[in-house]
Each structure stands twice: as C-alpha cells, then as structure tokens.
Amino acid sequence: MDRLKSFFISAWMSLLVVGAVRSGWAIYQNPHALAWYWALLCMLAPLSFFAWVFTFNVARTQMATKAVLGITLITLLGAALSPLIIEPLAWILGAGVIGTAVYEWWYSSFGGRHNQLLGVGQTLPNLEFINAAGTSIKTRELNKPLLMIFYRGNWCPLCMAQIKEIAGQYRELAAKGVEILLVSPQPQSHTVDLAQRFEAPMRFLVDTDNAMAKRLGIAAANGLPLGMEVLGYDSDTVMPTVIMTDAAGKILFADLTDNYRVRPEPEIFLRVFTQAGI
C-alpha cells in the first residue's frame, strides 16, 4: 500500500504540471475555449497549494486541502456549463477532482495508529541513535525529560515547519531541562545539513536503517515519494510521531497522528511538561 502511495504522489504532481501546460497551450491556440481556462485553474489550485506548503513553512494543512477540493469542484461545474470540450473536462475530473480527493482521504491518512508500546504511563524503551557527528546516543543515558520528534526527512515541508516551531520554543523548553531529540532515518549528511540551519542546540539524530522506528512500530515502508531516491534518501521512512517523557523515561504524551498533514500545536508541549511538574 505504501508503495502505491509513493507512486501516486509523484505521478499526480507530474500529471498536474502536464495538465497545466496542456491547458495553457490550448488557450494560446484558441483564446475563446472557455473550458480550458477552467482546466488551467483546476490544475493550478493544487499546484499552488504545494508551492505554498514548500515556501511558507506550513505545519498544518487540513483546511487548505478542503478548499482546494472545493475549487476543483467549482471548475468542474464551470467547464460543464461551458461549450462542451471533452479533453479539459477529463483533466479536471481526473487530475483535479479525483486526484485531490484521493490525496485528501487516502494518501494523507495512515489509518488507525493504535500503539500500546507508546501509551501514556508506559516506560519508553532505551533507544539508540547516531548524532550528526557520528556518535552513538542512548535515551536512557540522557537522564532528562525528553521531547522526541520522529520526522520523515528534509524533503518533507511539514516536518521542516514543525521543527522550526520547536526551535522557536527552545528557550522555554530548555528552561525546564527538556532535551529535544529530532530523529529521522535519512542519511547522516542530510541531518548535518539540517542541523546547520538552526541556532537552537537541539539534538539532530539519525535512526540507522529505521531500526528504532521499527522497534516502536512507527516505521513507514516505501513512504518516500517515488523518484526522490536520487537525492540520497532511502525509500523507507517514518510516520510523524511525537513522544514526551520525564527524566525516568515514563511517557507523558504521545502524538501518533493518522494524517501526516496534522501535527500537534507547539503549545501542547509546554503544557504537558508543566502539568507533569517539570
């Protein structure tokens, strides 16, 4: 299933680009073909959504995609009421309406993520990662409250936005003695590049071969969009997950989102630690 999703997201975005170019060319050839204007708007709506996400560090997009779907439905109606041309209607229905609906309700969802191992009150297993310098880090040896975020990789704009939010909270969390661990299965070189973007001294860690994610039941086999392997990423990744523990390793909070476009609000983290007396 994850392999199919990997293919879908790359194929859909490519189809949107091709559809936009085709619509623009058709309008150039016949400026009076109203249906093609609707097709162009339909292709540009989801493309603009992705441009917005990649450009403006957006961590939550659940409402935006519903708006995009609404726009594609409006373009379908507009094209249907225009002088009939089958091809732009096919682009709108296939790449626009159906593609956006599949992205909204199937691609973005992980399904139910019930995980007894990460229940509040459980003790987090001792996990071992590699830091940006190549040194082994074990969670039990830190002896501090932990805010641990498993993120998919530098390629994921929502993950990058979430990390930016955490960096903005660093001083308040550090004042509580909290250690921030940002964990990804991506290659160490990518993690080093990411660590250099932030002045906040958070720990950027590599989960080699996704071993700890598999142990915790949060790995996502073939979760990388198809084709991004050429940038040095492994096809397997991790489902976005937040785990908070006290200094003894007891889990205080765990967010196992079932939609990669829905991340917890950063204010939650300070509140959970405060309620735990930290």
pLDDT tens digits, 148-177: 999 999 999 999 999 999 999 999 999 999
Do 149 and 43 lie in a common domain?
Answer: no
Do 133 and 259 lie in a common domain?
Answer: yes
Q: How far apart are the first and last CA of the chain?
A: 41
What is the span of the domain harbouring residue 135? 116-275
Do 25 and 7 lie in a common domain?
Answer: yes
Give the domain-ending residue among 107, 141, 173.
107
Average pLDDT of the residues in 63-82: 96
Give the tens place of pLDDT for each residue, 179-199. 999 999 999 999 999 988 887
Q: What is the CATH number of the domain that holds 174?
A: 3.40.30.10
Do 226 and 139 lie in a common domain?
Answer: yes
Residue 1 has pLDDT above 70, yes or no: no
Do 240 and 174 lie in a common domain?
Answer: yes
Give the count of domains, the chain.
2
Do 31 and 139 lie in a common domain?
Answer: no
Residue 83 has pLDDT above 90, yes or no: yes
Place of tokens 């189809």: 15
Residue 213 has pLDDT above 90, yes or no: yes
Do 172 and 94 lie in a common domain?
Answer: no
Do 94 and 73 lie in a common domain?
Answer: yes
Do 263 and 126 lie in a common domain?
Answer: yes
Residue 269 has pLDDT above 70, yes or no: yes
Give the domain-ending residue among 53, 84, 107.
107
Give the domain-ending residue among 66, 90, 107.
107
Predicted local confidence at residue 197, as pLDDT: 87
Average pLDDT of the residues in 64-73: 97
* List of residues 6+ apart from 236 with CB closer than 8 A: 185, 210, 219, 220, 221, 222, 223, 224
Do 103 and 120 lie in a common domain?
Answer: no
Predicted local confidence at residue 121, as pLDDT: 96
Among the ranges given (108-122, 125-139, 150-164, 178-192), the one the predictor scored with the smallest mean pLDDT: 108-122
Do 55 and 125 lie in a common domain?
Answer: no
Average pLDDT of the residues in 196-210: 90
Model pTM score? 0.92
Per-residue pLDDT band for 2 (boundaries 50, 70, 90) equals confident
Do 120 and 254 lie in a common domain?
Answer: yes
